[in-house]
């Protein structure tokens, strides 16, 4: 019962039922109209024909009737047979006198002879006055048991040029053949209509199946996806809304899968990065424990190494936390919108990095236009500059030069940081903003990098509605351009 209920509330059945109702109503209206028109047409034809026959009969017999010629019976009998033959309906001709009493009957039956019919058929009196009466069809009940029959009556006065109206010709004709014909036609119409309706039901079941198939596919895919199988794609067929829906779904599931992969990769990269200093510490402590060394200098040396690894661990965790924090914020609009003077910001940032540059005998230069101000979060923007200048110093050999320039473009403020360092291989340029990406893993590890600095900087700049571009020639140096909009719209 429940299954049935659900089945009939499905889109597919609703479509079928809707088709059925519309087509059913359509066919009923059409069938009824056809029957009505046909019937009117047939009856009209017959009534015109019999009207003519009764006039023809009255003219033919007028003189014989006036002369009281007994052959008149044969005349009406012959005419009755003639009309029966032409119309295919049994036709009876009655001659009534001035008082509405039957004088002759083409059927030669005695049942009506000498009977006054003017009471039963009031039209007779009208005709006797010389007036015209239209042929009329009636239902009569006759026989035993009584059966319904349809009969057409037509009347015409028998006129004499000097005596006026002598009597009435009354022609009665059964309409059986029309009834049979109409019944046949209506039966055919019903059968054909039912046939067409059945065909339409089958077709609409098929069509609605085609319509609902993509929805079923999609539902199945979404269900699987919600259970964790993210690699769902639906087949895209046809066009229109279902195509768009399918494409949107595929794009969404691809994005989800990418996100899932990125998350997995991030976790495995992070674990790997955290494991490296931990393994180093483990080796160092185990050697101290098991080697039985008494020399305090060696202790000091090992502990210094351990301390270095702890710092490294600390900086990785700090960076990871910063990234997670940025990810959280990029969804919302929590970022503050304070005016930030870029020259001031850079000066402040460089103070912390000056010592680093001096240690490597690197010249730090700064040039700037005045009053280049953008909207944003100064602490985060400071981190961007700090990461970029830190890289420039880190990846530039001793005696090199790092220069920073601040200028204002038409719709962006531009911070340009260039160095005379080792540069970046062009095949790696597209990946340097990826998390944990380092051009030379071994070399960077010794310089303490984790490969998170640029991805953090990039994330922050994107949050400000800007972007970072980079030019680099291996062995010559690199230039990073940070372009920030003056006003943040997001
Ligand atoms: N100015 C530069 N010159 C040459 N290579 C660079 C420069 N800046 C970045 N790189 C390359 O891009 C990589 C990624 O830089 P990123 O700042 O993200 O990581 P990192 O400096 O290695 O580590 P950290 O997370 O400590 O910043 C670096 O490892 C380095 O190979
Ligand atoms: Mg860095």
Nearest to 377 by CA among 411, 339, 406, 329: 339
Distance CA 230, CA 223 (A): 10
Q: What confidence score (pLDDT) does residue 266 get?
A: 85
d(CA 27, CA 189): 9
Which residues on adjacent β-strands are paired with residue 200? none
Single pTM value for the model = 0.58
> Is 392 touching ligand 1 by the criterion CB < 6 Å?
yes
The confidence score (pLDDT) of residue 337 equals 84
266 CA from centroid of ligand 2 (Å): 18
Tens of pLDDT, residues 217-227: 889 999 998 99
Mean pLDDT of 238-259: 88
Q: Quick one: pLDDT at residue 1? A: 46
What whole-number distance in Å separates Cα of residue 346 and Cα of residue 270?
31
Structure tokens at 127: 């005709």
Contact 392, 417 (CB under 8 A): yes
Residue in 276, 362, 454, 477 to alter for ligand 1 test, most ligand atoms within 8 A of Cβ: 454
Q: Are 181 and 168 in contact, with CB atoms under 8 Å apart?
A: no
pLDDT digits 0-9 by tens, 156-211: 999 988 888 999 999 999 998 888 999 999 999 999 999 998 998 899 889 888 88
Q: Which of 343, 409, 408, 403 is nearest to 378 (CA)?
A: 343
Cα torsion at 178, 184, 186, 188 (round to 10°)?
-150
Q: What is the pLDDT of residues 11-42, one digit of tens each?
A: 888 888 888 899 999 999 999 999 999 999 99
424 lines ligand 1 (CB under 6 A): yes
Pocket lining: 273 vs ligand 1, CB cutoff 6 Å: no
The whole-chain average pLDDT of the chain stands at 89
The answer, yes or no, to whether any atom of ligand 1 lies below 6 A from the CB of 439, is yes
**In this predicted model, which residue has the larger pLDDT, 449 or 434?**
434
User: Does 445 have pLDDT greater than 60?
Assistant: no
Q: Concatenate the DSSP letters of all residues of 124-171 into one string.
A: HHHHHTT-----EEEEEEETTTTEEEEEEEEEEEEEETTTEEEEEEEE
- 319 and 453 in contact (C-beta within 8 Å)? yes
Between CA 366 and CA 374 the distance in angstroms is 18
CA dist 383 and 319 (Å) reads 11
> 296-331 and 240-291 are packed helices; what angle lies between their axes, rounded to 10 degrees?
170
Ligand that lies nearest to the alpha carbon of residue 417, given by its number in the listed order? 1
SS3 category, 306: helix
Contact 386, 345 (CB under 8 A): no
Q: How many CB atoms lie within 10 A of CB 255?
A: 11
Q: Is 479 in the pocket of ligand 1 (CB under 6 A)?
A: no
The pLDDT assigned to 58 comes to 93
Q: Quick one: what percent of the chain has pLDDT higher than 70?
A: 95
The ligand placed nearest to the CA atom of residue 445 is 1
CA distance 218 to 235: 9
The angle at the Cα of 25, spanning 28 to 203, to the nearest 5 degrees, equals: 105
CB count in 10 Å sphere of residue 430: 10
Tell me the DSSP string of 27-62: HHHHHHHHHHHHHHHHHHHHHHHHHHHHHHHHHHHH
| DSSP string of 334-353, one letter each residue | -S--EEEEHHHHHHHHHHHH
484 close to 464: Cβ distance less than 8 angstroms: yes
Out of 350-354, 419-423, 447-451, pick the least confident: 447-451
Dump pLDDT digits (tens) for 78-132: 999 999 999 888 999 999 999 999 999 999 888 888 999 988 899 999 999 988 8
- 62-91 residue pLDDT tens: 999 999 898 999 999 999 999 999 988 899
**442 — pLDDT class (breaks 50, 70, 90):** low
Residue with tokens 């180093």: 280
- Residue 392: name the closest of 380, 379, 381, 405 by CA: 405
pLDDT in tens, 324-355: 888 777 665 667 788 999 999 999 999 989 99
* Residue pair 93/108 in contact by the 8 Å Cβ criterion: no
């Amino acid at each position: 019962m429940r299954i049935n209920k659900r089945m009939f509330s499905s889109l597919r059945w609703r479509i079928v039922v809707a088709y059925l109702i519309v087509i059913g109503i359509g066919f009923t209206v059409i069938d009824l109209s056809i029957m009505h028109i046909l019937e009117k047409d047939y009856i009209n034809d017959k009534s015109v024909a019999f009207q003519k026959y009764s006039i023809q009969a009255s003219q033919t017999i007028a003189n014989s009737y006036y002369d009281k010629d007994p052959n008149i019976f044969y005349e009406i009998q012959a005419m009755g047979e003639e009309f029966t033959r032409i119309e295919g309906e049994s036709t009876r001709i009655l001659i009534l006198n001035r008082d509405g009493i039957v004088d002759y009957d083409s059927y030669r039956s005695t049942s009506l002879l000498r009977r006054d019919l003017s009471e039963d058929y009031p039209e007779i009196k009208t005709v006797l006055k010389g007036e015209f009466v239209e042929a009329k069809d009636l239902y009569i009940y006759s026989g035993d048991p009584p059966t319904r029959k349809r009969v057409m009556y037509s009347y015409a006065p028998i006129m004499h040029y000097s005596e006026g109206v002598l009597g009435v010709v009354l022609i009665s004709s059964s309409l059986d053949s029309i009834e049979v014909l109409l019944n046949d036609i209506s039966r055919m119409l019903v059968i054909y209509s039912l046939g067409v309706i059945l065909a339409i039901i089958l077709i609409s079941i098929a069509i609605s199946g085609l319509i609902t198939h993509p929805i079923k596919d999609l539902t199945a895919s979404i269900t699987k996806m919600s259970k964790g199988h993210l690699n769902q794609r639906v087949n895209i067929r046809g066009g229109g809304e279902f195509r768009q829906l399918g494409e949107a779904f595929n794009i969404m599931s691809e994005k989800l899968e990418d996100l899932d992969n990125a998350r997995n990769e991030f976790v495995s990269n992070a674990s790997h990065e955290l494991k490296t200093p931990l393994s180093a510490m483990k080796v160092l402590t185990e050697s101290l424990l098991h080697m039985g060394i008494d020399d305090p200098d060696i202790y000091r040396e090992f502990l210094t190494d351990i301390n270095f690894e702890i710092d490294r661990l600390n900086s990785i965790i700090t960076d990871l936390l910063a990234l997670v924090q940025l990810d959280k914020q990029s969804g919302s609009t929590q970022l503050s919108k304070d005016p930030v003077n870029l020259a001031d910001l850079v000066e402040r940032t460089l103070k912390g990095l000056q010592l680093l540059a001096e240690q490597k005998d690197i010249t730090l230069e700064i040039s700037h236009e005045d009053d280049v101000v953008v909207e944003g979060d100064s602490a985060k923007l400071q981190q961007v500059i700090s990461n970029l200048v830190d890289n420039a110093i880190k990846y530039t050999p001793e005696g090199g030069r790092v220069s920073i320039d601040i200028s204002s473009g038409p719709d962006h403020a531009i911070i340009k940081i260039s160095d005379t360092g080792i540069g970046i291989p062009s095949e790696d340029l597209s990946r340097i903003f990826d998390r944990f990406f380092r051009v030379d893993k071994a070399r960077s590890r010794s310089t303490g990098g984790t490969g998170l600095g640029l991805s953090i900087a990039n994330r922050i700049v994107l949050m400000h509605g800007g972007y970072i571009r980079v030019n680099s020639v291996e062995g010559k140096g690199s230039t990073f351009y940070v372009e920030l909009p003056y006003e943040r719209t997001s």
